């Protein structure tokens, strides 16, 4: 019976019958909120508008005496003690009564608001994930730039510095030139004298 109430509520909200039946079946008839979430998540599926076909064979969680939520009951409403008018009923304490038109409108309004809120939350989550992805990409780019700057600086320092062996050769050449210069001055002194 709750399955019919959920299905009827989805139909009243304007969902296609095939979509509504699939949502109720795939969520295990766990309520209108779950069904609407399922519809939102699967609205782009290519087979969403095809008629729902219940699974054939053994269904997990089903017993012989009790069909699973995905299997429709084989009893007619009269056999199970239900009437066709009971699909528009709500739980009010322990007694059930038919929903008035105003209650139906209020329920539809609440469900539409709930759908809007869920869509907004989903959109905010998606935007947050996109911002996080962009932030991560910017950090990665910044790290790459810093690493490249460090490599360039290291190369520049390596090119600007003279190896220690070059210093030793330069010093020895300077000493030889100084010795040659001293020898030349001594030679000139001798010539002048």
- Which CATH superfamily hosts domain 2-90? Ubiquitin-associated (UBA) domain (1.10.8.10)
Rounded CA-CA distance 122/111 in Å is 16
Higher pLDDT, 103 or 178: 103
Is residue 100 scored above 80 in pLDDT? Answer: yes
pLDDT in tens, 4-54: 788 888 888 888 888 888 888 888 888 888 888 888 888 888 888 888 887
Tell me what pLDDT residue 8 has.
85
Tell me what pLDDT residue 148 has.
94
**Average confidence (pLDDT) over 129-133:** 93
Rounded CA-CA distance 143/104 in Å is 58
Rounded CA-CA distance 27/62 in Å is 15
pLDDT in tens, 132-167: 999 999 999 999 999 999 999 988 888 876 566 666
Measuring CA to CA, which residue among 49, 12, 4 is closest to residue 29? Answer: 4
Rounded CA-CA distance 76/82 in Å is 8
Tell me what pLDDT residue 130 has.
93
Tell me what pLDDT residue 134 has.
93
pLDDT in tens, 56-94: 766 555 555 445 444 444 454 444 444 444 444 444 444
Tell me what pLDDT residue 137 has.
93
Is residue 111 scored above 70 in pLDDT? Answer: yes
Q: Where are the domains of the chain?
A: 2-90, 100-161
Measuring CA to CA, which residue among 29, 32, 38, 31 is closest to residue 71? Answer: 29
**Average confidence (pLDDT) over 96-103:** 80
pTM of the predicted structure, to 2 decimals: 0.36
């Amino acid at each position: 019976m709750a399955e019919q109430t959920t299905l009827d509520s989805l139909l009243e909200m304007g969902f296609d019958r095939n979509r509504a039946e699939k949502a109720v079946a795939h969520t295990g008839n766990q309520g209108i909120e779950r069904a609407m979430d399922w519809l939102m998540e699967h609205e782009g599926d290519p087979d969403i508008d095809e008629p729902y076909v219940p699974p054939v064979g053994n269904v997990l969680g089903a017993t012989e005496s009790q069909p699973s939520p995905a299997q429709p009951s084989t009893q007619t409403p009269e056999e199970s003690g239900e009437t066709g008018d009971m699909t528009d009923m709500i739980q009010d304490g322990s007694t059930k009564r038919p929903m008035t038109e105003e209650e139906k409108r209020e329920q539809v309004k609440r469900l539409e608001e709930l759908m809007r809120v869920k869509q907004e939350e989903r959109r905010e989550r998606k935007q947050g994930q996109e911002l996080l992805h962009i932030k991560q990409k910017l950090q990665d780019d910044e790290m790459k730039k810093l690493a490249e700057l460090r490599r360039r600086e290291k190369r520049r320092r390596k090119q600007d510095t003279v190896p220690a062996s070059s210093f030793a050769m330069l010093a020895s050449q300077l000493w030889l030139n100084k010795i040659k210069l001293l020898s030349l001055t001594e030679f000139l002194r001798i010539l002048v004298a």
